Amino acid sequence: MSDSTYGRPHRPARRREIADEVSAELEFHLEMRTREYIARGMSPADARDRALARFGDLARVRKTCREIGRRKDDDMRRREYLSELVQDIGFAMRQLLANPGFSVVAIVTLALGIGATTAIFSAVNAVVLRPLPYPEPERLVFVFNFWRGGLGSVSAGNFTDMAAEQRSFESLTAIQFSSFNLSDGSGAERVVGLRATAGYFDVFGVRPALGRGFRVDEDQSGHEQVVVLSHGLWTRHVGADPAIVGRQIRMNGLPYEVIGVMPADFDISGGTEELWVPVAFTPERKAMHDEHYLTVVGRLASGVSRSQAQQNVDAIVAGLRRRFPREAGGLVMRVEPFMAQIVGDDRGRLLTLLGAVAFVLLIGCGNVANLLLARGATRARELAIRSALGAGRARIVRQLLTESVVLALAAAAAGLAIAAWGTRSLVALTPPGVPRLEQASVDGTVLSFAFALAILSSVVFGLVPALRAARTDVIDALKEGGRGHAGVHRDWLRSLLVTAEVTLAVLLLVGAGLLIRSGIEAGRIRLGFDPGGVITARLALPEAEYTDPARVEATFLRLTEETGRLPGVQVAALTSGTPMAPGGGSNGLIPEGKPLVPDSIVNTQLRMITPEYLRAMGISLLKGRGFDSRDRRGAPKVMILGEAAAASLFPGQDPIGRRVVCCEPGPDGKSPDYKTVVGVAADVRSRGPASPVVAEFYLPVAQVPREAWTWVQRSMYIVARVESGDPATLLPALRATVARIDPDVPLFNMRTMNERLVGSLAAARFNTLLLTLLGAIGLVLSAIGIYGVIAYFVTERTSEIGVRMALGATRGDVIRLVLRQAAGPVAAGVAVGLLGSAAATRVLSAQLVGIEPGDPLTLAAVVLALLVTAIVASVAPARRAAGVDPTRALHLG
């Protein structure tokens, strides 16, 4: 390595050597000087003293020289190391090019694994890891009502009182989702927006890009006709007009002044809410403690923790319970972190996917490790020569690892293309609803992840083969004709790799299998209604023109009648909420006979319906009767209960004829208002087949209290069942009907029930698809791994097989021998995999419907799949083994 002609340059290896040498050198000098003085006639002792004195501070010189010596040594080492590294990298690249078969297989395997993992990571990064686009997002919290085990909305009264008394929040806001008619002369557009209190923009801490947020005085009844637009709406509706601030737009029939526009990245929910108006509570509303419909978000004051805020809220709640025993009797409120609520289930799903794709990468690494082990055997001579030339074992391992790293980095570069494509596909194909997913891209963070993943993978697949190869017995390998001791002692490592791969494949397949079965079970679940041939569409009547509840009711009923008369319509009806669609509120019911205290309340979803609704939706009436023309305003008030509600209110009894308190005070304004149960309807899976049944009850539209129209914000669904064919064909006629009644009211959220059904299952289906795909890839890679190991086994044992055949073994015996070789590690892998799946699939239990993680049918199917795969993978090598010619085989031995 040096071009010195003076022999090898002097190079002390360690600090102690350097120190010793310095001492020796200086000592030599002193010796010589002492001799000089002795030669001049001094005594040895005096000579020595004189020499020392002349020298100066011996200790300091020694120290200085040692220091410089050390630094020089460090310099030299660093240079050597770098030059070795450059050498190794060059050698590694040449190796890859010289062995194209190996290189291509290894790079493709790793590129797929690294690329896929990186793609999923970019989604995880965008949705889960990146902080929200607000300043100090960790200080944002939700404040929910906590009722009977679930988080729910807050009432205006509770919010107002809490906002006044609280001491732990820097700002608080109450939000209500609402939809708005934007009309600009050329038609109406339906837009979802938020009604929020004045503190909204302070809570999120983001300034509008144009203009300003609400002033406190605008958050009052009578002054609230101002609006802040989202970036998307600003672009779409007013053409990104930079002078929009101060101008007016028309919403819900009223003029609103545009006071601001939010920046483009303010939106985290994929463009759901597009404008903000002040909620402007009236003084009456601020005193209402029993209608819960607001979402409350707060920013913790600096230095205040969530638990401290919780304590503060608990104290306020205790006060509310005291002051309002009727409305706030069982009140409990919870402070929850903002991010976790926003991301919700998606976090678990994405992380599960990341784990699954990492498994696939690991299996791929296992295959590459196997390839490297095989190559290590063929490179025995080369490595032995290196060793004989003086390369230490560590040096050889370092070189081999460098080769692995270069391989992995090459694969990562190829994998980036896959990652980019994979990320785009993921964004395009994932059903909507995952917050911020559309922002996923291969950015700096993701690139760093891919790089780190490549390095990590190279250690995983490269370390053990490198250690193995470096342990080559030099003499053995250099022997003429020596094949090295491949054989026996390497087998256990390969078998271990097969076992590991099979274990991972089992875990993936069990996960995928459980999800598939769950999907099938979900499809079998009784929905409680008949989605075929039904279309639903939503519309909301604007407050400005429809202040009179009688007019609202009349308009909706007229719409229902006209829809019923459309050609092709079998039956039409109205409802405040259809299954698997947003909307609808809940009310508390108390059965007659129970004391009128909050503990007796059964929280139930309200559906305001016209009498044909049950027939239109295909919901069976189990007992009693449906609503009919008897149930008019002024007639005795009636309700229909869903099965679950009936069971909660009147367990074990017949609810028909019984009475229930709900929804409004009686005629005198104080005493409870009873309604009589006239029918029981079959349970409806309103949130989709994967969710549990929700308790529901029905009231006839003709009898609902006037406040009910405010509860639903004058928004109802029109439901139409067609006699035959695709209900979507009804849409133009429906739109026309609505336009005839009021041209400024748009129809929106128009879907057939089948579309809604598919939509509610979409996320789960997509997840299952991905996991199944990963499981399949994992299985294929494991099959390749098994094939590789068995093929190697046959090659290595060719002479042994020849001997056996010469001694009388039949083809069948040989095939059985080979298959048995595969059976061991595969069986071990299946066993470990099944054990592991018990724990691992607990992760999935939240997503499973109708089956348990330990479902025996799924496990049996997976075991069968693995066995078949192992046999298929072993067939080719087994047949090759059976075709061995004993004479040739023995000759080769």
Partner 1 sequence: MAHEAPGMMHGTLDALILRTLVTGPRHGYAIARWLEEATDEMLTIEEGSLYPALYRMERKAWIEAEWGTSELNRRAKIYRLTPKGRKQLVAETEHWARFAAAVSKVLLPA
- By CB under 8 A, name the binding residues for partner 1: 4, 6-7, 9-10, 21, 24-26, 28-29, 31-33, 54-57, 60-61, 64-65, 68-69, 71-72, 75
Smallest distance from partner 1 to CB 19, Å: 13
Smallest distance from partner 1 to CB 57, Å: 6
What's the rounded Cα separation, in Å, for the pair 200 and 202?
5
Question: Which CB atom, from 18 or from 405, has the smaller least distance to partner 1?
Answer: 18
In the block, tokens 């200085």 appear at 64
What is the CB neighbour count within 10 angstroms for residue 797?
21
Smallest distance from partner 1 to CB 49, Å: 15
DSSP 132: P
Smallest distance from partner 1 to CB 72, Å: 4
Question: Which CB atom, from 7 or from 812, has the smaller least distance to partner 1?
Answer: 7
Question: Which CB atom, from 16 or from 489, has the smaller least distance to partner 1?
Answer: 16
Smallest distance from partner 1 to CB 79, Å: 11
Question: Which CB atom, from 65 or from 867, has the smaller least distance to partner 1?
Answer: 65
Question: Which CB atom, from 59 or from 97, has the smaller least distance to partner 1?
Answer: 59
Question: Which CB atom, from 51 or from 406, has the smaller least distance to partner 1?
Answer: 51
What residues form DSSP beta bridges with 602? 589
Smallest distance from partner 1 to CB 41, Å: 17
Smallest distance from partner 1 to CB 43, Å: 20
Question: Which CB atom, from 61 or from 739, has the smaller least distance to partner 1?
Answer: 61
Residue 770 neighbours by CB under 8 Å, 6+ apart: 353, 356
Smallest distance from partner 1 to CB 798, Å: 56
Burial environment of residue 288 by CB neighbours within 10 A (0 to 12, 13 to 18, 19 or more): middle
Question: Which CB atom, from 56 or from 390, has the smaller least distance to partner 1?
Answer: 56
Bridge pairing between strands 169-183 and 248-251: antiparallel
Question: Which CB atom, from 24 or from 876, has the smaller least distance to partner 1?
Answer: 24
Burial environment of residue 588 by CB neighbours within 10 A (0 to 12, 13 to 18, 19 or more): middle
Q: Is 341 helix (H, G, I), strand (E, B) or coil?
A: helix
Question: Which CB atom, from 48 or from 615, has the smaller least distance to partner 1?
Answer: 48
Smallest distance from partner 1 to CB 29, Å: 5
- For residues 163 and 294, the answer to whether their CB atoms sit within 8 Å is no
Alpha-carbon distances of 598 from 73, 331, 550, 746, rounded to whole Å: 82, 9, 32, 40
Smallest distance from partner 1 to CB 35, Å: 8
What's the rounded Cα separation, in Å, for the pair 676 and 639?
6
Residues found in the chain: 893
Reading the block at residue 170, the tokens are: 């820097």
Question: Which CB atom, from 7 or from 567, has the smaller least distance to partner 1?
Answer: 7
Question: Which CB atom, from 9 or from 582, has the smaller least distance to partner 1?
Answer: 9
Alpha-carbon distances of 501 from 259, 463, 495, 505, 832, rounded to whole Å: 61, 17, 10, 6, 11
- For residues 258 and 248, the answer to whether their CB atoms sit within 8 Å is yes
- For residues 261 and 229, the answer to whether their CB atoms sit within 8 Å is yes
Q: Is 533 helix (H, G, I), strand (E, B) or coil?
A: coil
Bridge pairing between strands 638-642 and 150-152: unpaired
What's the rounded Cα separation, in Å, for the pair 356 and 511?
9
Smallest distance from partner 1 to CB 61, Å: 5
Buried residues in 414-439 as b, exposed as e (16+ CB within 10 A): bbbebbbebbeebbeebbeebbbbeb
DSSP 1: -
- For residues 211 and 337, the answer to whether their CB atoms sit within 8 Å is no
**Measured at the alpha carbon of residue 731, what is the angle toward residues 550 and 616, in degrees to the nearest 5?**
65
Please state the three-class secondary structure of 48-101 as a single string.
Answer: HHHHHHHHCCHHHHHHHHHHHHHHHHHHHHHHHHHHHHHHHHHHHHHHHHHCHH
397 sits in the region (left: phi over 0; alpha: psi -120 to 50; else beta) called: alpha
Question: Which CB atom, from 69 or from 513, has the smaller least distance to partner 1?
Answer: 69
Question: Which CB atom, from 12 or from 330, has the smaller least distance to partner 1?
Answer: 12
Radius of gyration for the chain, computed over Cα atoms and rounded to the nearest angstrom:
39
Q: Is 465 helix (H, G, I), strand (E, B) or coil?
A: helix
Smallest distance from partner 1 to CB 69, Å: 6
Question: Which CB atom, from 70 or from 880, has the smaller least distance to partner 1?
Answer: 70
Smallest distance from partner 1 to CB 10, Å: 5
Name the nearest CA neighbour of 829 among 464, 500, 594. Answer: 500
Smallest distance from partner 1 to CB 21, Å: 7
Smallest distance from partner 1 to CB 82, Å: 16
Question: Which CB atom, from 15 or from 630, has the smaller least distance to partner 1?
Answer: 15
Question: Which CB atom, from 43 or from 64, has the smaller least distance to partner 1?
Answer: 64
Smallest distance from partner 1 to CB 84, Å: 20
Smallest distance from partner 1 to CB 452, Å: 37
What's the rounded Cα separation, in Å, for the pair 502 and 774?
14
DSSP 729: G
What's the rounded Cα separation, in Å, for the pair 563 and 546?
21
